[in-house]
Amino acid sequence: MQLITAEQRAALLANGAASAKRDIAPHPVVKLFTPDTGATWLLTELDIAFGLCDLGLGCPELGYVRLSELQTVRGKLGLPVERDLWFEAKGLLSAYAAAAHRAEHIVELEPVA
């Protein structure tokens, strides 16, 4: 499975370009995870991907990661990182970060009414 689609790549690059020009708070574009461990990444931009990273250790944080590195990550059972095919951002990355810090792991946000 490709970690990101062409459409997601375009959105991630656009967020990165906008972020370089001004301070923005984008929505996550893609959610990646390991199916056999607790690691999750909510990415907002490229070239080096930026987003909320949770390695399953109880301390999710905002940071940078290389997609080439994620392609080499394997979980306990040797399974590769996958893309959540049904993920749709329900808020800004800052809202996900705040919720993750409270829960000590990345959680889904409640839909805005």
pLDDT in tens, 44-84: 988 678 899 999 899 999 999 988 889 999 988 999 999 99
φ, ψ (nearest 5 deg) of residue 40: -145, 145
Q: Record the pTM.
A: 0.79
Q: Is the peptide bond before 84 cis (omega within 30 degrees of 0)?
A: no
CA angle 93, 97, 103 (to 5 degrees): 140
Assess whether pLDDT exceeds 70 at residue 97.
yes
**Which residues fall within 8 angstroms of residue 102, CB to CB, at 6 or more apart?**
none
24 near 17, Cβ under 8 Å? no
pLDDT band at 112 (very low <50, low <70, confident <90, very high): low
